[in-house]
Structure 1
């Protein structure tokens, strides 16, 4: 994931990347933070 977007998510939610699935989507998507097109799906969660 984009480092700046990852830092923003972590700063606002205390969540960090937990998984980059081996099977990625066939179609590109959009980053929820930057709005840029991406082909990487990243799963975020908080550690307790």
Structure 2
């Protein structure tokens, strides 16, 4: 089971990242964090 959360940061980073995708593996509790400049990049990451 994998949980995903896409959230918008109120502050844009120096590199231009405003959105973040967090993916959590329920079995191992391992998590990945993907900074994104655009929301539509979510499908390419997944």
TM-score of the aligned structures, taking structure 1 as reference length = 0.31
More helix by share: 1
Greater relative CO, 1 or 2 (CA 8 Å, sep 6+): 1
More strand by share: 2
